[in-house]
Amino acid sequence: MNSAVIEADSQHAAGQRLRESIFRGATLVAALLVLTLLGGVMLSLLKGSWPAFSHFKLQFLTREIWNPVTDQFGALAAVYGTVITSLIAMLIAIPVSFGIAIFLTELAPPWLKRPVGVAIELLAAVPSIIFGIWGLFVLAPLLQRHVQPWLIDLLGPLPLIGKLFQGPPFGIGVLTASVVLAIMVLPFISAVMRDVFETVPDVLKESGYGLGATTWEVIWKVVVPYTRTGIVGGIMLGLGRALGETMAVTFVIGNAHRISPSLLGPGTTISASIANEFTEAVGDLYTSSLIALGALLFLITFSVIAGARLLLLRLDRRALSSV
């Protein structure tokens, strides 16, 4: 009787082992699938962009020209537009998101926490085309009539930064695209920041307060250092979205393949150019140049992520050595 129980047990165990190994295999396949997909994307980007890179060589990166009629292509304007709109968007979104997250976790009265939190999550669920249309029909006229003329009058005559705010107020342009992007990435950054701020153990904060620290000091000396990795992660998530955002930007950036010194002027981004032109691109070199733009975006996003990792590594090392 005893032996029967043991046998049943060992059978049970064998079944469990089998199930476990199947599960392990399945997760391994899922993980490998990601690598395969990524490799496939890289390969096809390289293959598709090869004609453009081999034809224009380094000039593809250094020229502003984008002329489908004469088959002359350079990525500089699109790369510049991608980087500048994302940077300005982060400049606006990071402080605001930080404020939202701090308010929600440290300062807000409990009855306000939930509605604001839910509102931010809803903002993250709005499709980008809606932001594009809203930017074009609502935000652009508003900026054109009330904000841009003021910027031009106030900042336009200044030395150095004046150049950034000159020209006619079109309503759409690099600045408008950046503002729309900032609004789009804001919920992502603030949601991540809020979540990581909530992981700070109360005992740490209370010790700070117990030592007589102000709220300000607790936030800067306890909460932020404790959640550094998470904050950088949230920012990178937002930046990644800003770099690749297509539809909303296409609507409001003005789609001109040139680098205008003014932020009010039109520009273009990598993804906006691809969305605008790929369907009607005829000719191998044209198509290949658009794919090459995609490869560059891949490279930019990759370097951003790699840069963030390096930054975090260094921060961790410094934190360790200071301990």
**Which stretches of the chain bind other proteins, using CB under 8 A?**
65-70, 136-137, 140-141, 144, 168, 170-173, 250-251, 254-257, 266, 268, 272, 275-277, 279-282
Q: What does the DSSP assignment read for 56-68? A: HTTHHHH---EET
Q: Which two tokens stand for residue 182?
A: 């900032």
Phi-psi region of 72 (alpha: psi -120 to 50; beta: other; left: phi over 0): beta
* Calpha distance 238→86 (Å, rounded): 9
Q: What is the largest CA-CA distance in the chain?
A: 97
Q: Name the minimum Å distance from CB 262 to other proteins.
A: 12
Q: Which is nearer to other proteins, 3 or 70 (CB)?
A: 70
Q: Which is nearer to other proteins, 103 or 170 (CB)?
A: 170
Q: Which is nearer to other proteins, 227 or 288 (CB)?
A: 288
Q: Tokens 């002027």 identify what position?
A: 265
* Calpha distance 281→313 (Å, rounded): 43
Q: Which is nearer to other proteins, 98 or 251 (CB)?
A: 251
Q: Which is nearer to other proteins, 55 or 228 (CB)?
A: 55
Q: Name the minimum Å distance from CB 282 to other proteins.
A: 5
Q: Name the minimum Å distance from CB 193 to other proteins.
A: 33
**How deeply is 140 buried, as exposed, middle or buried, from its count of CB atoms within 10 A (0-12, 13-18, 19+)?**
buried
Q: Which two tokens stand for residue 79?
A: 């790369």
Q: Name the minimum Å distance from CB 173 to other proteins.
A: 7
Q: Name the minimum Å distance from CB 267 to other proteins.
A: 10
